[in-house]
């Protein structure tokens, strides 16, 4: 039998017992719930930002097509009043209205050298999910040159 000195026994009692370290099951479950909820919110925000980005790029494309059609109409040597329409592609359609226009305070009796025309270009997607994009301008035409 081994004899243990009273000093060794006293020192053994004085040393703190080692505690188990780590997380309890409840703490782990709460951490996972917080993580799951925050990831859900982050994914929803990411989804909304992608949707908004796509919508903005589609609107920008429509506006560029409308500006292109407006420039094409203004470049023609003679404006023909009336309605024209067509397609850029299967996805985009356009409609243009050209009409002689009078200013509200313009004298109806006096003949002017320049005649204002209102040109309105409307571009929309073929699926009808978005509102049409509209550009409108007034263009002065020298009537004496025609």
CATH of the domain at 86: 3.30.1300.30
Tokens encoding 23? 């997380």
Secondary structure letter of residue 28 according to DSSP: H
Q: How much is the pTM?
A: 0.68
Do the domain assignments include residue 23? no
Match 């009692």 to its residue by tokens: 13
Q: Which structural domain, as residue segments, surrounds residue 92?
A: 29-104+111-145
DSSP 30-61: HHHHHHHHHHHHHHHHHHHHHHHHHHHHHHHH
Would residue 21 count as lying in a domain? no
Residue 8 lies in a domain: no
**Residue 17 placed within a domain:** no
Does the pLDDT value for residue 14 go beyond 70?
A: no
What pLDDT digit, counting tens, does each position of 51-110 carry? 999 989 999 999 999 999 999 999 988 888 999 999 998 889 999 999 998 888 877 777
Number of domains in the chain: 1
Q: Is residue 60 part of a domain?
A: yes
């Amino acid at each position: 039998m081994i004899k243990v000195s009273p000093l060794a026994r006293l020192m053994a009692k004085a040393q703190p017992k080692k505690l188990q370290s780590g997380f309890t099951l409840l703490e782990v479950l709460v951490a996972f719930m917080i993580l799951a909820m925050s990831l859900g919110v982050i994914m929803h925000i990411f989804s909304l930002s992608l949707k908004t980005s796509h919508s903005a790029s589609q609107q920008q494309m429509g506006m560029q097509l409308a500006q292109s059609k407006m420039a094409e109409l203004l470049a023609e040597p003679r404006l023909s009043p009336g309605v024209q329409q067509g397609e850029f592609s299967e996805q985009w359609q356009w409609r243009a209205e050209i009409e002689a226009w009078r200013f509200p305070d313009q004298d109806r009796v006096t003949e002017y050298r320049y005649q204002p025309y209102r040109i309105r270009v409307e571009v929309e997607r073929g699926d009808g999910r978005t509102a049409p994009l509209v550009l409108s301008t007034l263009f002065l035409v020298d009537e004496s040159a025609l």
